[in-house]
Homo-oligomer: A and B are copies of this chain.
Amino acid sequence: MSLVVVGSLAYDAVETPHGKVDRMLGGACTYISLSASYFTPVSIVGVVGEDFAAEDVKLLASRNIDLEGMERVPGRTFFWAGVYSSDMNDRTTLRTDLNVFATFEPKLPLSYRERPYLFLGNIQPGLQRSVRAQMNGVKLIGGDTMNYWISDYRQPLLDTIREWDFLLVNDSEARQLSGVSNLKKAAERIMEMGPSTVIVKRGEYGALLFFRDRHGQVRWFTAPGYLLDVVFDPTGAGDCFAGGFMGYLCSRNIDLSDPGADHRELHRAVIYGSVMGSFCCEQFGVDRFRSLTRAEIDARFQEFQDATAF
């Protein structure tokens, strides 16, 4: 089934203990769609400036990503610069130039409006909601957000996620949104806000999934983080997780509102999320996606099986 992804397209400058890149393709929409493209056809909605390079368009197109919704406007593409701490668990933003992203108003091409799956990357909640309103009969909708929207745009955010099937956040965002420290209770509180499914990303520790089974009981599932020999650059890993998770759900035509759905499929979606996040860290920026194959993805999925089965 076909997936629409909305979010930022950007250029990043990144420094990690393994090196430094002054300008490389980035942005949530980029990472999500590249990752999801291994599972399902993807169409993107985003904005770029006149400086967006032909070779970057070519990379996205090489993954069969539908670029009809990628608007090109006068000005420069969103630019972000950051530096990671030595253990790479923290990063400091050095510069954020919103550029053309500052006035981004997502407009869905007509051809996108009947698509069944929608993933809303981290943008202003009101814009996320406006995209939802442009879709007809969407079957499964989810997305992520960030600390700034949770603190300063709380009501618009609540109005937005009320319509979502799932919310993807990291542990500190889950605590901030729910006001609860215990992650299980935090997820239950978030489920009362609308989403029937909550995924909590925990960086190198993997991810937690919360959902209700057919008896209305809250269940949890946990995917480990993959143990990489070297983490080159964690930029985009959370977005690649999102792409793997959502991409797999689309590929299996999953309907989260179906109480009889096989929850093992949801589990597998989370594992594919972890798999894609792990590949992302192996090289700088999106570089790993220049060579990654579906066979490598499935081999790593099997490694997760071996590392968790007992």
Contacts of A205 in B (CB 8 A): 202, 205
- A157 to B220, alpha carbons, bound, how many Å? 40
Q: Are B306 and A264 in contact (CB under 8 A)?
A: no
- Give the copy number: 2
Chain A interface secondary structure, helix, strand, loop or mixed?
mixed
Q: How many chain A residues touch B (Cβ–Cβ < 8 Å)?
A: 32
Bound CA span A274–B37, Å: 37
Within 8 A of B (CB), among A215-247: 219-224, 227-230
Residues of chain B within 8 A of A208, CB atoms compared: 227
Beyond the given pairs A208-B227, A224-B224, A308-B310, 11 more chain A to chain B contacts, judged by CB atoms under 8 angstroms and listed by A's residue number, are: A182-B230, A184-B228, A205-B205, A220-B307, A221-B306, A223-B310, A268-B310, A271-B310, A308-B308, A308-B309, A309-B309
Chain A, residues 247-277, CB within 8 Å of chain B (1/0): the string is 0000000000000000010011011000000
Q: How far is the CB of A85 from chain B (nearest CB, A)?
A: 12
> Knowing A221-B308, A306-B219 touch, does A184 contact B264 (C-beta < 8 A)?
no
A185 touches B (CB below 8 Å): yes
Query: A87 at the A/B interface (Cβ < 8 Å)?
Result: yes
Q: Which of A186-222 contact B (CB under 8 A)?
A: 202, 205-206, 208, 219-222
